[in-house]
Structure 1
Amino acid sequence: MKTQLNAFILTLCLTTVMACNANSKSNQQDLAIAETKIETKSKYDKPEIKVALLLDTSNSMDGLIDQAKAQLWQVVNELSYAKCKDESPNLKIALYEYGNNKLNADEGYLRQVIAFSDDLDEISKSLFSLTTDGGEEYCGKVISTALNQLQWGNDKDDLKLIFIAGNEPYTQGNVSYKTASKLAHQNDVTVNTIFCGDYNQGITSYWKDGADLTHGNYMAINHNQATVHVASPYDDKILELNEKLNRTYVAYGSTGRKKMEMQAEQDSNARSYNKANAVSRTVSKSSRLYKNSSWDLVDAEKEDDFSYDQLKEEQLPKELKGKSKAEIKSYVEKKRKERETLQKAIAELNIKRQGYIESKTKDSDNGLENALIKAIKAQAKQKNYKWEKS
Structure 2
Amino acid sequence: MRTYVLKVFLLIHLLTGITSYATNNPIIKNDNKKQTVKVALLLDTSNSMDGLINQAKAQLWEIVNELSYAKCRGKSPNLKIALYEYGNSRLSVKEGYIKLVSKFTSDLDEISEHLFSLTTNGGSEYCGQAIQTSINELKWGEDKGDLKMIFIAGNEPFTQGKVNFKDAITDAKEKDITINTIFCGNYNQGISGSWQQGAHLGGGDYMTINQNKNIVHIVTPYDNDIIILNKKLNKTYLYYGNKGASKYEKQAKQDTNAEALDEVVVVKRAVTKSSKLYNNASWDLVDASKDKNFSYKKLKKKQLPSYLQNKSTQEIKSYVKKQHAERKEIQLKIQELSKKRKKFVAKKQKENNKKNELESVIIKAIKKQAKKKNYSW
TM-score, normalised via structure 1 length: 0.87
The structure-2 alpha-carbon separation of the partners of 1:83 and 1:42, relative to structure 1 and needing over 3 Å to count, comes to closer
Find 1:248's aligned residue among 222, 233, 236: 236
What is the deviation of 1:359? 2.1
- Tell me which protein shows more helix as a share of its residues: 2
Which structure would you say has the larger Rg?
Answer: 2
Match of 1:36 in 2: none
Specify the code of the residue in structure 2 equivalent to 1:385.
Answer: Y
What residue in structure 2 maps to residue 259 of structure 1? 247
Matched, 1:213 2:201: yes
* Aligned mate of 1:372, from 362, 366, 371: 362
Aligned pairs (5 A) from 1:1-390: 45-362=33-350, 363-365=352-354, 367-387=357-377
Q: What code does the residue aligned with 1:364 have?
A: N
Q: CA deviation at 1:305?
A: 3.1
Q: CA deviation at 1:319?
A: 1.3
Distance 2:62 2:353 in 1: 14
Asked if the contact 2:240/2:299 (under 8 Å) is kept, the reply is no
Percent sequence identity over aligned pairs? 59
Tell me the matched-pair count. Answer: 347
Displacement of 1:241 after TM fit? 0.6
Classify the secondary structure of the residue corresponding to 2:261. Answer: coil
Deviation track 1:131-159 (CA, whole Å, cap 9, x = no partner) reads: 00000100011111111110001111100
* Secondary structure of 1:107 counterpart: coil
Q: Using the alignment, how far apart are the partners of 2:323 and 2:120 within structure 1?
A: 42
Superposed displacement of residue 43, structure 1:
7.0
* Secondary structure, aligned partner of 2:79: strand
1:171 deviates by 0.5
Counterpart CA distance in 1 for 2:242 and 2:341 is 38
Question: CA separation in 1, counterparts of 2:151 and 2:311?
Answer: 49
Q: Secondary structure at the match of 2:373?
A: coil
Letter in 1 for 2:359: E
Determine the structure 1 residue equivalent to 2:20: none
Return the alpha-carbon distance in structure 2 between the equivalents of residues 46 and 96 of structure 1: 26
1:189 and 1:252 map into 2 onto residues whose CA distance is 36
CA apart distance, 1:384: 1.1
Partner secondary structure for residue 272 of structure 2 = helix
Contact 2:41 2:152 in 1 (8 A): yes
Is the contact made by 1:157 and 1:383 (CA closer than 8 Å) also made in structure 2? yes
Query: How far apart, CA to CA, are the structure 2 residues paired with 1:47 and 1:375?
Result: 18
Q: Which amino acid aligns with 1:371?
A: V
Three-state SS of the structure 1 residue aligned to 2:294 is coil
Q: 1:27 — aligned with what?
A: none
TM-score in terms of structure 2 length: 0.90
Amino acid at match of 1:197: G
Report the Cα distance in structure 2 between the residues aligned to 1:372 and 1:231, rounded to whole angstroms: 22
Following the alignment from structure 1 to structure 2, what is the Cα–Cα distance between the partners of residues 129 and 237? 30
Q: Which runs of 5+ in 2 are unaligned?
A: 1-28
Q: Distance in 2 between matches of 1:59 and 1:297?
A: 42
Question: Aligned equivalents of 2:136 and 2:343: distance in 1?
Answer: 43
Structure 1 contact 228–364 (Cα < 8 Å) conserved: no
**Partner in structure 1 of residue 3 of structure 2:** none
String of CA shifts for 1:245-296, please: whole Å, max 9, x gaps. Answer: 0000011112111111111110011111111111000000011000101110
